[in-house]
Amino acid sequence: MPVKTCLVCQGTGCVSAGAGQIHAAIREEITRLDLGENVYVKRTGCHGFCQQGPLVVIEPEGIFYTRVKVADVTDIAQSFLPQGQLVERLFYRAPDSGKPISHHQDIAFYSKQQRTVLKNCGYIDPEEINDYIVVGGYDALRKVLLEMSSEQVISEVKRSGLRGLGGAGFPTGQKWEACRKASLEFREQRTGDREKTHLSSLISHLSPLTSDLSPLTSHLSTFVICNADEGDPGAFQDRSVLEGDPHSVLEGLIIAGYAVGAKQGYIYVRAEYPLAVKRLQIAISQAREKGFLGKNILGKNFDFDIEIFQGAGAFVCGEETALIMSIEGKRGMPKFRPPYPAESGLWGKPTLLNNVKTFANIRWLINRGADWFASRGTEKSKGTAIFSLTGKIANCGLIEVPMGITLREIIFVLGGGIPDGKTFKAVQTGGPSGGCLPSSLLDTPIDFDSLTAAGSMMGSGGMVVLDEDTCMVDMARYFLDFTQKESCGKCVPCRTGTKQMLGILEKITGGLAESNDLIKLQELAEMIQKTALCGLGKTATNPVLTTIKYFYDEYESHIKNKKCPAGVCKALITYEILSDKCNGCHLCFKSCPSEAIKGEPKKAHSIIYEKCIKCGICFTLCKFAAVEISHPDGHCDKFRGSQKLR
Amino acid sequence: MKRIIIDGKQIELENKTTVFEAAKQNGVYIPSLCYYSQLAPHGACRLCIAEIDGMKGFPTTCTTYVEDGMVVRTNTGLLQNLRCQIFELILSQHNKSCTTCAKNLRCELQTIAAYLGVERLTLPFIEKDILVYNDEPFFNRDYNLCILCGRCVRVCNEIRKNNAVDFAFRGIKTIPCTSFSKKLENSNCEFCGACVDICPTGAILEKDFRQSLNPDKVVTTICPYCGVGCSIKLEIKNEKIVRIAPDIDGPANKGQLCVKGRFGIKEFVHHKDRITSPLARQPDGSFKEISWEEALSVIAEKFAKYQGDEIAVISSAKCTNEDDYIIQKFARTVLKTNNIDHCARLCHAPSVAGLAQTLGSGAMTNSISEIADAKTILSIGSNSTATHPVIGLKIKKAVAHGAKLIVINPKKIELCRFAYLSLHHKPGTDVALLNGIAKVIVDENLQDEKFIRERCENYDEYITHLSNISLEDVEKITGVGKELIIKTSRIYATQKPATILYGMGITQHTHGTDNVFVISNLALLTGNIGKPSTGLNPLRGQNNVQGACDMGCLPGVYPGYQKIDDASVREKFEKFYQTNLNPKPGLTLTEMFKEAYVRKVKAMYIVGANPILSAPCLKHSECSLTELEFLVVQDMFLTETAKLAAFVLPSCSFAEKDGTYTNTERRVQLVNKAIKPLGESRSDWLIVCELAKEILKIRRHLSLQKEENPTVSPFYKEGIEGGFDFQNPSGIMDEIAKLTPIYGGISYKRLSEKTLKWPCPDENHPGTDILHREKFTRGKGLFMKVSYKPSTELPDDDYPLILTTERLLYHYHTGSFTRKVDGINKISPEEHLEINPSDAEKLGLSDGDFVKVVSRRGEIRVKLQVSENVLPGVVSMSFHFAESPTNALMNHAVLDPVSKMPELKVCPVALRRTNN
């Protein structure tokens, strides 16, 4: 009987759904059935399809079990017996046909992806360095240290066309080159100083305490930092990489350290990611044991170590200068640039700062070569992009797709389209500061420049799909509410400007706005875009500007007609009980928090409008579609109520 | 050389500077709220945006550095439009209550509103509704008016390094805040007022700002507190000081002050306890106001009776140079005595004596501003952040620039926070410790051989002497680990330039001069002298203690340290003064009290000193003064000393007179009269001149009578009333310049343009920043062999703890000024005895208990403060509080053989619990 591997996902999503117990139960069951020789049960990182978790995958066939519960473990274990049957009820079902699909390679969500950075996520045990080494881990580091000079590494990265995957898409090789240059200059200057003070001549004959003579950080004249401060609501690709394949990030960091001449690396990861922190800690200590970190790595004259710095949850600390301030122990507030961190970063020293995914890409482009890397993607955006696909979409999860794929393909092929038969309205990319793109732009290819040109951005890689039930004004208000709360408060346009904009948006959704307000809103948004200090402020207005651009009619409707076309803005709607549909089940009566529903059991109920707080609980709970959303003036458009699915 | 074009204007620049500064220097106004010249660029207000060819978007000029060929436009329509919108955002969060705001007409928002021509505001007002902090000392904080320019936060963190406030909360709720919103008293705040000065709006304001609106005039003068010599601006309204602001051009302070200078002046100047007319003591002990004529004639008559050494004069380091010069001239020419001394006896007399022996000059060798560029700072026995706060800033700045600070102090002082190494030795063991450091330097061959060979002498004997020292013994004596001593030696000897700063911890010992010698050895050994940012720098305590010494208010020297036992010098002075001078060196301050106690000194004239509290052993000083036949005290207040006088003469404060002070770095600065003297009070020089003339008149009368008698003393031969006919202090300075080579080129005319540092021998000399550059004042630097001697009194079973003394940031000297300031009394109302927790536990005492501190000479009652800052076996007190006069406990009997300094830092005491 061939040996099989049973992969139990231990990403945050699956763990919170009970994957830990499932892993233990499967192990136990396999042992009980005496299959230990034939079945290797393994913990893995995130598979990406978190919506369907907890996931169990049987390799080498690629059998894909979704939403596994502890109760299913016996059946899964039994399936390994010679006469065992696959557990069909756990198969993934296609969103359109409902047909069960047994193998992951047949699921569109996976088959259309081009997993590179995520390749090992879901297949190797993230807490076991040997698992990583088996799949070629640290080969790139070996290659770099044994065969390449720092300059060669940088030129390879430059040639690959890799761009920063934190969102801004700055050419990575260029950044590395600048940092190396600054680092060399810095060291030269320092050596100069030292000669002046005759220090070097003294060092030779002094006893072991001599190290105190050298300035505190002289051996740390350059730093590399991995930015793992993933703050966007809904984005979790950095977390998944750290949880699923931490060594790939470490390897990238070490190579970067070698390339730019740094001896100390930091990983700035949010404390809200405890699992990622834990796995990084394990990975770092294992890498130290194996000699990939520490002194004289791989026997070469190269020292490098990595420290984890846990952030305290400020969104703005994802901004590189704020992140550096935070590591320095100061309040995370962005600084003006230039000077860029590559010249003057942490403690004023040259500092290379890249995103998790950028570092995770390094080993691939070293192993397979810059040409291979550059062969994928578009002309200006090479390689792959990772998105967290969420919102009103059938397949939620993490996807890695080649640059240049269209939005349509992602949403309707990988994503399986909009569920519940609703229509697509817009897609918001790049986190809370991204723009909302309408259906007319669905064929936009995904790359840094096209998205920016359309008014949105690659950003953190969040991709929120919105359907017809979403009010675009409310949606802009929602995101702006987030960004204005997360403003660090330093510069005026961001701090006060976004707040004033939020005020106007609240007026609009509250039905109190006049057409002047819209002009003011747009003016403010443009001014903030032009004058804010950092990326947070400059992009915070994107959701507003794009919704004004692409969904102007919705704004108009709110302002002129005092109507919310999607029926979302509470001030502009009322709830109504249709007496012909209400059978008096009394459920809404019992659930109404403000006692705004009157009526006796088994008789049609009605709403006391003075008391109604428009929480919508009656609408959600009603099993007979008897509660409807309408406009205060009684006129009823084709609203959600009439379309509500049973 | 960089050429740029700003708004069509060609500008050429030498240095690296921002576009904003380039524009400012060339008269192009760009609005900004967060820019401040002394702070790092911040870029928060976004008002200084510009269009720069080749740059994306709208860069802020305050954060953009000039590059050759830049073309900048600062006032296009688009920019002004954006600025208007940004400014409107600022105003939409700023409570527009201008008419009732105390900052009205001084508010920077108004300037910008005028520049932008803002007419109508369209955005709704966002109420902040933040609690106003108005119950803290000195200033109120109303963050409803805050526009978050961040200047207060930045000045507190960047320059003051206190980090008392930082931004808190996010988004629209962001405000400057102390940690956990604690009150300022409970934060790191030191009430330096830098945030008040820098705030562009009314968010941070002095409590009584309203009174200070539209001052009649602003007078620049020098702070009367410590020796730093900060330049301050007195704002005067109706002959009253209403506000004190730092002078941003002040050479020593560059716009910074401390709590005493910023908030501790106007209350004592205008205090109700000021004496405003001469007082005569009545038989019943009370004082009666009398007229000047009466006072002067009675005093003159009395003084005229005493001959030479029967009389002693104590002058003051708080007086101006001119006052002090006149006082010593009075003592020497009229009273014919060299019994003239002042409080330097109790502070830096060992420095003056010690450094004069080893280097030839007893002043700071280098300047304050050089500290910031040092690579190593050795701070010994100086709590600079408390005693010289503005020098403390320079130290912090140096540390921020990568200098290594080594603090040697028995106490864990605030500077330790910034220190690379902190050495806490047992009080009184400095000689052992510093010899140990020197030994390591020599053993490891880190000394500067070339410097020693070329410029020093007595080196070989010194080395032989060092070879007898063992580090193990040093460790045992000082309690400082060997490792630390070795590290210190290596850093000081190799990380150059290295500077030494020291204070009372070194000098106030009976072996104070020895301490100074060993410090001097260290600097000579490593060649850290005569070069920028090096040197031996005694930080002088009083505003004009340097000047008072320079002016010859010392028993052994004439002005400019010209020795009285040098016949040619004496001849020069006799010729100029047209009188015979007493060739016998006089008594030191400490000796005067001893001699008074045995009635050898019969009369005393004390000007601006309060030795009852400052001299050791209160009982002894008090008895000595009561033993006197005649005591005249000249002061602003009825001090503890003045209460014992027969006559008290009212002198006026620094704000009421012209003159000069010489600060600790030898910088002579003009003191300018800001208000009329209060009541009948007069400048000290004027009073002394009048008195001198009065006495001389009597003497002339006497001598006429005695003319027939040839046996009469030749002293009385000449009448020199003309020697005291000065119209103003400027004239006195001219006389000083004539007689004092180091002041030779100093005149009011020159000083009004630029301050000068002595030596300044002639009119064209620019002054001297660094002493001993080419050669030492005495020729060669002298190595001194010094062995450790234990302090006179050591702890025993009866007196098991060592009491040492310190100064507090909030108080000054005997508290005659600071104890009169409400806010200061609120922050620091009473004395505390600091004790290590282990000692407190042994004695069963806890924080807040009252104890009696008993020494062999007296006892005082004080509150206990348990603190890790003192070592076990050591307790510490200040001497600012008359209620618990620490010096009552000190030993007056044994003096430093050279400088006559008593032991003020080591006093064995016992503690006894007492009732609360």
Nearest to B871 by CA among B521, B424, B550: B424
Centre a 10 Å sphere on the Cβ of residue B470 and count the other Cβ atoms it contains: 11
**Cβ-Cβ contacts under 8 Å, B402 against chain A:** 215
pLDDT confidence of residue A1: 61
Residue B732 CA to residue B749 CA, distance in Å, equals 13
Sorting pLDDT into bands at 50, 70 and 90, what band is A442? very high
Residue A433 pLDDT more than 90? no
A172 in reach of chain B (CB within 8 A): no
For residue A468, the one-letter residue type is E
| Helix (H) or strand (E) run with residue A401 in it | strand A397-402
CA distance A491 to B766: 46
Contact predicate B880/B640, CB 8 Å: no
Phi then psi dihedrals of residue B180, to 5 deg = 55, 30
- The DSSP bridge partners found for residue B421 are B406
Is A214's pLDDT higher than 70?
A: no
Please state, in angstroms and rounded to a whole number, the distance separating the CA atoms of residues B743 and B756: 9
Name beta bridge partners: B287: B281
Task: Evaluate the CA torsion angle B871, B873, B878, B883 in order and state its sign.
Answer: positive
Task: Work out the pLDDT band at A213, boundaries 50, 70, 90.
Answer: very low
Contact B92 A335 (CB under 8 A): no
Q: CA-CA distance, A359 to A248, in Å (whole number)?
A: 8
Q: Give the C-alpha separation, A544 to B194, whole Å.
A: 42
Point out the residues of chain B with pLDDT beneath 70: 704-722, 916
DSSP of B314-326, one letter per residue?
A: E--TTS-HHHHHH
Pick from A505, A491, A473, A500: which is nearest to A535 by CA?
A: A491
Positions of E strands within A511-594 = 574-577
> Are A625 and A641 within 8 A, CB to CB?
yes
Cis bond before residue B215 (omega within 30° of 0): no
Contacts of B45 in chain A (CB under 8 A): 491-492
Question: Chain B partners of A485 at a C-beta cutoff of 8 Å?
Answer: 170-171
Distance (Å, rounded) from C-alpha B647 to C-alpha B626? 13
Q: How far apart are CA A357 and CA B112, in angstroms?
A: 46
A490/B167 Cβ within 8 A: yes
CA distances from B207 to A383, B143, B822 (A): 64, 15, 12
Q: Which residues contact A616 (CB under 8 A, 6 or more apart)?
A: A575
DSSP code of residue B110: H
Q: Which residues of B touch A499 (CB under 8 A)?
A: 126, 171-172
Q: How far is CA A68 from the centre of its chain?
A: 25
Which tokens belong to A204? 């030779």
Separation CA B843–CA B913 (nearest Å):
9
Close Cβ partners of B607 (under 8 Å, ≥ 6 residues apart): B313, B314, B315, B316, B319, B323, B327, B633, B634, B635, B651, B684, B688
Residues of chain A contacting B487 with CB distance shorter than 8 Å: 209, 212
Nearest to B717 by CA among B874, B538, B578, B871: B578
Q: Between B58, B93, B173, which is nearest A531 by CB?
A: B58
pLDDT score recorded for residue B579: 87
Q: Rounded CA gap, B666 and B767, in Å?
A: 9
Q: Which residues of B836-869 are buried (b: 16+ CB within 10 A; e: fewer)?
A: beebbeebebeeebebebbbebbbbebebbbbeb
Q: Which residues of B touch A495 (CB under 8 A)?
A: 148, 171-172, 174
Question: How big is the A-B interface in CB pairs under 8 Å?
Answer: 120
CB contact under 8 A, B172 and A215: no
Is the CB of B150 less than 8 angstroms away from the CB of A490? yes
Q: In terms of CA atoms, which chain B residue is nearest residue A489?
A: B171
Q: Whose structure tokens read 């961001």?
A: A494
- The closest of B557, B691, B559, B550 to B632, measured between CA atoms, is B691
CA distance B709 to B716: 12
Beta bridge partner(s), residue B909:
B801
> Do A390 and A465 meet the contact criterion of CB atoms below 8 Å apart?
yes
pLDDT value at residue A199 = 40
Residue-wise pLDDT tens digits, A128-154: 999 999 999 999 999 999 999 999 999
Chain B nearest-CA residue for A516? B122
Position A634 scores a pLDDT of 54
Q: Taking a C-beta distance cutoff of 8 angstroms, is the pair A618, A591 a contact?
A: yes
Q: Give the Cα separation of B46 and B58 in Å (integer).
A: 9
**CA B659-B662-B668 angle, 5° bins:** 75
Amino acid B722: pLDDT: 67
User: Which residue in B92, B446, B487 is closest to A209 by CB distance?
Assistant: B487
Instruction: Provide the residue type at A635 as one letter.
Output: H
Cα A105 from Cα B88, distance rounded (Å): 58
Quote the minimal CA–CA distance from A214 to chain B in Å: 9
Among partner residues B43, B166, B445, which is closest to A331 by beta-carbon distance? Answer: B166
Exposed, middle or buried by CB within 10 Å (0-12, 13-18, 19+), for A2? Answer: exposed
CB B905 within 8 A of CB B380: no
Q: What whole-number distance in Å separates Cα of residue B378 and Cα of residue B529?
A: 13
- What do you get for the CA distance between the two ends of chain A, in Å? 48
Q: Which residues pair with A223 in a beta bridge?
A: A264, A351
**Confidence (pLDDT) at B271:** 94
Read off the pLDDT of residues A447-489 as tens digits, 9 standing for 90 and up: 999 999 988 888 888 899 999 989 999 999 999 999 999 999 9
* A464 neighbors A546 (Cβ within 8 angstroms): no
**Best mutation target, B35, B120, B123, to test chain A (most A CBs within 10 A):** B123
- Both tokens of B250, joined, read 């002040």
Nearest CB neighbour to A496, from listed B82, B89, B166: B89
Cis peptide bond N-terminal to B410, omega within 30:
no
Q: Is the pLDDT of residue A2 over 80?
A: no
pTM: 0.90
Among A482, A496, A500, which would you mutate to test the B interface (most chain B Cβ atoms within 10 Å of its Cβ)?
A496
- Cβ-Cβ contacts under 8 Å, A513 against chain B: none
Q: Do the chains contact at B82 and A487, CB–CB below 8 Å?
A: no
Q: What angle do CA A342, A292, A160 make, to 5 degrees?
A: 50
Q: Report the gap between the CA of A257 and the closest CA in chain B (Å).
A: 25
Q: Is the pLDDT of residue A191 over 70?
A: no
Q: Is some CB atom of chain B closer than 8 A to the CB atom of A218?
A: no
Which of these, B642, B559, B544, B584, lies nearest to B328 by C-alpha position? Answer: B559
Residues composing chain B = 916
Calculate how close chain A gets to B149, using CA atoms only, in Å: 8
Nearest CA in chain B to A205: B444
Percent helix, strand and coil across chain A, each to the nearest 5: 45, 15, 40
Look at A488 and B170 and tell me if their CB atoms are within 8 Å: yes
- By Cβ distance, the residue of B43, B148, B444 closest to A533 is B43
- Please give the mean pLDDT across all residues of chain A: 89
pLDDT at A220: 67
Residue B141 has φ and ψ, to the nearest 5°, of: -120, 115
User: Pairing state of beta strands A305-311 and A264-270?
Assistant: parallel
Q: Could you say which residues from 495 to 524 on chain A have a Cβ atom under 8 Å away from some Cβ of chain B?
A: 495-500, 503, 520, 523-524
Return d(Cα B711, Cα B724) in angstroms, integer.
28
**Chain A residues with CB inside 8 Å of B174's CB?**
487-490, 495
Asked, as a colleague might, if the bond just before A246 is cis with ω within 30 of 0, I would say no
Q: Give pLDDT tens digits for B800-822.
A: 999 999 999 999 988 888 999 99
Whole-angstrom CA distances from B589 to B345, B555, B638 are: 6, 9, 21
The DSSP bridge pattern shows strands B603-607 and B630-635 to be parallel
Q: How far is A310 from chain B (nearest CA, A)?
A: 19
Best A492, A504, A528, A538 member to test B by mutation, with max B CBs in 10 Å, is A492
Whether residues A213 and B122 touch (CB distance < 8 A) is answered with no
Residue labelled with tokens 């205008």? B270
Nearest by CB to A206, which of B57, B90, B490?
B490
Q: At CB < 8 Å, which residues of chain B contact A?
A: 41, 43-46, 49, 57-58, 60, 63, 82, 85-86, 89-90, 92-93, 122-124, 126, 147-148, 150, 166-167, 169-174, 375, 402, 444-446, 483, 486-487, 490-491, 494-496
Chain B partners within 8 Å of A530 (Cβ): 57-58, 82
Q: Give one DSSP letter per residue of B210-242, joined into a string.
A: GGGSS-SEEEEEE-SSBTT--EEEEEEETTEEE
> Averaged over A537-548, what is the pLDDT?
94
| The predicted structure's pLDDT at residue B309 | 87
Taking 90 as the threshold, does the pLDDT of residue A159 lie above it?
A: yes
Q: Do B90 and A492 touch (CB under 8 A)?
A: yes
